[in-house]
Amino acid sequence: MTSAVDTQLRADLRGFRAVQRLAYECAESVAARLKPGVTEREAARMQRDWLRARGVRDWFHLPFAWFGDRTAFAGFRVPLQFFPTSRRLEPGMPFILDMAPVHQGFTADIGYSGCLGLNPVHDRLLSDLEAHRDLILREVRERRPLREIYQDVERLMRHQGHLNRHRAYPFGVIAHKVDRVAERRWSPTVFGFGTQSLKGLASDAVHGHRDGWSPLWSPYRFSDHPPQPGLWAVEPHLGFRGTGAKFEELLVVTDSRDPEQSAFWLDDDLPHVRRWTEERAAA
Amino acid sequence: MTLQDARERWVRTGGVELCVTEAGDPARPTVVLVHGYPDSKEVWSEVTDRLRDTFHVVLYDVRGHGRSTAPTPLRGGFTLEKLTDDFLAVIDTVSPDKPVHVVGHDWGSVQSWEFVTVKRTEGRIASFTSMSGPSLDHFGHWIKKRMSRPTPRRTAQLLGQGAKSWYVYMLHTPVLPELAWRGPLGTQWPKILGRLEKVTPGDYPTGSLREDAAHGAWLYRDNVRARLSHPRPDAYAHAPVQLITPTGDSFLSPRLYDELDQWVPQLLRRQLAAKHWVPRTRPDQLASWISDFVTRHEDLGPGGTSATVDSATRPTARPGPHAEHFGGRLVLVTGAASGIGRATAFAFAEAGARVIAVDRDADGVARTADLARLVGAPEAWAETTDVSDEQAMEKLAEKVAAEYGVVDVLVNNAGIGLSGSFFTTTSEDWKKVLDVNLWGVIHGCRIFGRQMAERGQGGHIVNTASAAAYQPSKALPAYSTSKAAVLMLSECLRAELASQDIGVTAICPGFVNTNITSTARFTGVDETEQKRRQRRASRLYGMRNYPPEKVADAILRSIVRNQAVVPVTPEARGARFMSRFTPRALRAVARTEPPL
């Protein structure tokens, strides 16, 4: 019985890993094609087209693109401001591509930070994100309440001299649960979010509400519970004086007793992780 | 007179003999300093002293001034064309092969504008630093624009500058100016300069003042009417220009330069809180800005595009809103490892200032300095010092003066929080909070303020007080007392230092989302309750979520405007208003228990 569950889980993880890789491939391919003068709308469309051409039919959310100080969500007050605008990319500008495709029923949600040309501030932000990836994994393995982990991440950001910009996301979430999604022929989106995925999230929210957990990892009381098994799309987002950087990837949480197995990053071969490894090798 | 040990030579041109002085190694980049009216080249003596080690400094007396001879007849002998001839003759002698860097003050700047905008000097000028002297052509277009389409704002600008130009009208009257200068005005001039412009008497003005001023009247008569009525349409600068605008200039409105960008493709703006005679009153700052600018354009050669090179080396360095004012200046911020201090250090860094970050927390302050360099500070240093430790502060001041220079802006920001009833606050608690919040400020003002005052070239001190300085509260007796003391100290110091052009500002932030809440001490409660209150206070401040960056912006703004007391958050402003007009209501607020 256990082995059947394990096999199923492993197969599922393979599916999630494949779509996450696909999404990161898309991000790298689009990032390589970004040139001065490209608008956020065009960048978002490039992501959409690239993924559509590779069989993506449904979305957790449609691709976003943020350029310049919009990477730090400067002056964001209403959620509509997250949607791509006609802001044009300029040399030295940071950008973030954020997409959540659903492929063969598996969801990925990734964030890719880059910049056009040299930008030392952006480089520093990306390097500083490494500590957050480690911190989150460590504390999840310790089964600390999500709200406390959130506060620890925020404290680390403040210590680093940065601002917590994931607070700008709906409900201020640093992460949210993702799951398998039923494949339908018609998969509409509402305000950029796929209805199937929203349904999954809502049902999680209802179940979680009964059992005392929430699919949204926020600074609020409803996240005052230990990590819930499942897949979490974790997206710490740093901001520093008009420059923002984030990564987003899936964290697998299980109910295993073994700390190593209780939580792990779905994939360690991702652009930002490779970058840190290279940095360390260079140093 | 320090120019005496410089080399002197004479250049004969167009019927006059010009007295030229050179200092420094001729192999170095040549910087030509051109004096104004009614001055002679000695106006530059202080600046020359500071530049001669790095550059080949050349000064000359403009025709009819100092030891240069005057043309005969005087009328028609001072046109800008002739002044350009003189300039070319001088630079052909002192630097025949390489283009020179020109620096002009007052009329020296007016004529240098002519030099950089006419064809025949193209390729001979590598850069131009202008202070207090607009191009007459640009000025002419400026007036024309305002006359032909007089909006209320433009009319006000026109009238404002018209009133500041009173002396120009006077100088156009025949004979009288000469009589006045040779008579009582000449005698009184050093005193007038001392009183109105705070120019300390010494080797300047020189004995030739009366003749300089009398001859120089022809600078105005020969050029002003002609150029203002018929400005050249093609007065575009062919060299990069650094414009230094003294904000307190009694003769020139800063608005004159509003449209300068259309004439100068490579313009760098600087602002200085000073009056007209900056070469006498602010030599340090001028020398440092001139050095920077010359060095930058010397590396590139003439016509080098500084913008692209800058953006290649520091692509993210967007100049902050106050870059004109703080670029290259030395700023010291205490309590810079977190919160308002850190945000202030970054704001100054973004404006291009050189930043010294001071804090007890070595890691935090190193991080601040590190990031400050990334966002645009040309230099940033971290210093680990406890502001309440007088000896440590003395040591720091010595080190700063020796290694970095005299600070231009001092921000005494370090502070700690302490809350609790008066009767549970022990004398130890009192000592701690007063040591940091009050004595820290006193040490800073005394030690660094003295350096500033002794230098005598202005500066600014910002002390972080608090809204609690005027908002009493039963929960914060010690903290409020310390901050009220800081507020009053700032006001008194402002009065004392006003005569030395050093501004003092007290900042009263209010509830700002920093970690002062998580490090604050709550008296009269046990450890767990203490922790609980810290968390609760942090949460409340987090919900209020007023960012320290906004306080930092207020600090920079208050320095530019030289404000005395600056409440920042709306609640701080409200409390300030109430403390003045409805103090009883404020006292009622003071009795309420804070929701902790």
Residue A258, classed as helix, strand or coil, is coil
Whether residues B17 and B155 share a domain: the answer is yes
Average pLDDT of the segment spanning B305-327: 58
Judged against a pLDDT cut of 80, whether residue B301 lies above it is answered with: no
Whether residues B238 and B90 share a domain: the answer is yes
DSSP string, B44-65: GHHHHHHHTTTSEEEEEPPTTS
Choose, out of A121, A128, A155, the residue to mutate when testing the contact with B (most B CBs < 10 Å).
Answer: A121
Question: How far, in Å, CA of A152 to CA of A135, rounded?
Answer: 8
What CA–CA distances, in Å, run from B588 to A175, B406, B469, B578, B595? 45, 46, 16, 11, 16
Where does chain A have alpha helices with state H?
A: 2-33, 40-53, 120-141, 146-160, 195-211, 259-262, 271-282
What is residue A184's predicted lDDT score, i.e. its pLDDT? Answer: 86
What is residue B595's predicted lDDT score, i.e. its pLDDT? Answer: 83
What is residue B207's predicted lDDT score, i.e. its pLDDT? Answer: 87
Q: What's the maximum distance between 2 C-alpha atoms anywhere in chain A?
A: 57
Whether residues B296 and B406 share a domain: the answer is no
What is residue A2's predicted lDDT score, i.e. its pLDDT? Answer: 57
Residue A23, classed as helix, strand or coil, is helix
When divided into structural domains, chain A yields a total of: 1
Average pLDDT of the segment spanning A223-232: 93
Domain termination residue (choose one: B275, B310, B345): B310
**pLDDT bracket for residue B5 (50, 70, 90):** confident
Q: Which residues of A touch B312 (CB under 8 A)?
A: 118
How are beta strands B100-105 and B125-131 bridged, if at all?
parallel
At A88-140, the pLDDT tens digits run: 999 999 999 999 999 999 999 999 999 998 899 999 999 999 999 999 999 99
Alpha carbon dihedral B62, B65, B70, B75, in 10-degree steps, equals 80
- CATH code assigned at B351: 3.40.50.720
What is residue B309's predicted lDDT score, i.e. its pLDDT? Answer: 38
At A155-202, the pLDDT tens digits run: 999 999 999 999 999 899 999 999 999 888 888 888 889 998 899 999
Judged against a pLDDT cut of 80, whether residue A141 lies above it is answered with: yes
Residue B411, classed as helix, strand or coil, is strand
Judged against a pLDDT cut of 60, whether residue B311 lies above it is answered with: no
Contact B287, B279 (CB under 8 A): no
**pLDDT bracket for residue B306 (50, 70, 90):** very low
Which of A92, A119, A160 minimises the CB distance to B367?
A: A160
Please calculate the CA angle A153-A159-A164 and round it to the nearest 5 degrees.
50
CA torsion sign for A82, A83, A86, A91 is positive
Determine phi and psi for A162, rounding to 5 degrees: -105, 170
**CA neighbor of B314 nearest in space, from B228, B269, B376:** B376
Q: Which residues of A touch B556 (CB under 8 A)?
A: none
Type of residue at B552? A
Please calculate the CA angle B252-B258-B262 and round it to the nearest 5 degrees.
125
Report the run of H or E that residue A242 belongs to, with start and end.
none
Judged against a pLDDT cut of 90, whether residue B264 lies above it is answered with: yes
B365: its two tokens: 């302050």
Contact B475, B423 (CB under 8 A): no
Judged against a pLDDT cut of 90, whether residue B55 lies above it is answered with: yes
Residue A282, classed as helix, strand or coil, is helix
CA torsion sign for B374, B375, B379, B383 is negative
Average pLDDT of the segment spanning B291-295: 93
Domain that holds residue A147: 2-282
Type of residue at B586? L
CB neighbours of residue B5 within 10 Å: 8
Q: Kindly identify which residue of chain B lies nearest to residue A91, measuring between CA atoms.
A: B315
Alpha carbon dihedral B271, B275, B279, B282, in 10-degree steps, equals -70
Mind spelling out the 3-state secondary structure of B149-187?
CCCHHHHHHHHHHHHHCHHHHHHHCCCHHHHHHHCHHHH
What is residue B6's predicted lDDT score, i.e. its pLDDT? Answer: 83
A181: its two tokens: 């999604």
When divided into structural domains, chain B yields a total of: 2
Q: Which position has the token pair 């105005």?
A: B220
Whether residues B292 and B347 share a domain: the answer is no
What is residue B2's predicted lDDT score, i.e. its pLDDT? Answer: 55
B512: its two tokens: 């700002």
What is residue B163's predicted lDDT score, i.e. its pLDDT? Answer: 94
Contact B63, B35 (CB under 8 A): no
Judged against a pLDDT cut of 70, whether residue B74 lies above it is answered with: yes
Q: Is B197 on the interface with A (CB under 8 A)?
A: no
Contact B516, B339 (CB under 8 A): yes
At B190-224, the pLDDT tens digits run: 999 998 988 887 788 888 999 999 999 999 999 99
A44 Cβ neighbours under 8 A, 6+ residues apart: A62, A63, A64, A65, A84
Q: Which position has the token pair 């009329």?
A: B107
Which of A120, A161, A242 minimises the CB distance to B342?
A: A161
What CA–CA distances, in Å, run from B32 to A159, B281, B380, B515? 49, 20, 31, 52
At B529-573, the pLDDT tens digits run: 999 999 899 889 888 889 999 999 999 999 999 999 999 999 999
Whether residues B353 and B387 share a domain: the answer is yes
Judged against a pLDDT cut of 80, whether residue B310 lies above it is answered with: no
Average of per-residue pLDDT values in chain B = 91
Residue B547 inside a domain? The answer is no
What is residue B317's predicted lDDT score, i.e. its pLDDT? Answer: 46
Whether residues B262 and B354 share a domain: the answer is no
Q: How would you list the strands of the sheet with B16-23, edge to edge?
A: B7-13, B16-23, B56-60, B30-34, B100-105, B125-131, B241-246, B267-272
Q: Supply the angle between the helices A2-33 and A40-53 in degrees, to the nearest 10.
A: 130
Q: Which residues of B touch A241 (CB under 8 A)?
A: 346, 350, 375, 549
Question: How far, in Å, CA of B21 to CA of B44, rounded?
Answer: 11
Beta bridge partners of A232: A177, A251
**pLDDT bracket for residue A3 (50, 70, 90):** low
Residue B518 inside a domain? The answer is no
Judged against a pLDDT cut of 70, whether residue A65 lies above it is answered with: yes
Domain that holds residue B340: 328-511+552-590
**pLDDT bracket for residue A10 (50, 70, 90):** confident
**pLDDT bracket for residue B314 (50, 70, 90):** very low
Higher pLDDT, B176 or B3: B176
Whether residues B269 and B339 share a domain: the answer is no
Domain termination residue (choose one: B281, B310, B339): B310
- CATH code assigned at B239: 3.40.50.1820
Which of B342, B374, B549 minimises the CB distance to A121?
A: B374
The DSSP symbol for B333 reads E
B481 Cβ neighbours under 8 A, 6+ residues apart: B434
Q: Which residues of A touch B318 (CB under 8 A)?
A: 242
Report the run of H or E that residue A192 belongs to, with start and end.
none
Q: Is B311 on the interface with A (CB under 8 A)?
A: yes
Q: Which position has the token pair 């609760």?
A: B536
The residues of B that are catalytic are 479
Whether residues B284 and B365 share a domain: the answer is no
Which of B312, B318, B515 minimises the CB distance to A158?
A: B515
Domain termination residue (choose one: B284, B310, B336): B310
Contact B473, B170 (CB under 8 A): no
Residue B111 inside a domain? The answer is yes
Average pLDDT of the segment spanning B101-121: 95
DSSP string, A42-100: HHHHHHHHHHHHTT--EEEEEEEEEEGGGGGTTT--SGGGGS--SPBP-TT-EEEEEEE
Residue B318 inside a domain? The answer is no
Q: Which residues of A touch B519 (CB under 8 A)?
A: none
Determine phi and psi for B565, rounding to 5 degrees: -130, 130
Q: Is B498 on the interface with A (CB under 8 A)?
A: no
Query: Among B103-112, B133-142, B305-314, which stretch is predicted with the lowest mean pLDDT?
Result: B305-314
A183: its two tokens: 């494949």
At B426-438, the pLDDT tens digits run: 999 999 999 999 9
Residue B316 inside a domain? The answer is no
Q: Kindly identify which residue of chain B lies nearest to residue A93, measuring between CA atoms.
A: B316
Please calculate the CA angle A153-A154-A160 and round it to the nearest 5 degrees.
90
- CATH code assigned at A230: 3.90.230.10
What is residue A187's predicted lDDT score, i.e. its pLDDT? Answer: 86
Contact A269, A249 (CB under 8 A): no
Residue B546 inside a domain? The answer is no
Judged against a pLDDT cut of 50, whether residue B305 lies above it is answered with: no
Question: How far, in Å, CA of B172 to CA of B335, rounded?
Answer: 56
Judged against a pLDDT cut of 60, whether residue B38 lies above it is answered with: yes
Whether residues B295 and B335 share a domain: the answer is no
Would you call A243 and B342 a contact, using CB atoms and an 8 Å cutoff? no
Would you call A120 and B316 a contact, using CB atoms and an 8 Å cutoff? yes
Whether residues B248 and B362 share a domain: the answer is no
What is residue B356's predicted lDDT score, i.e. its pLDDT? Answer: 97
What is residue B302's predicted lDDT score, i.e. its pLDDT? Answer: 46
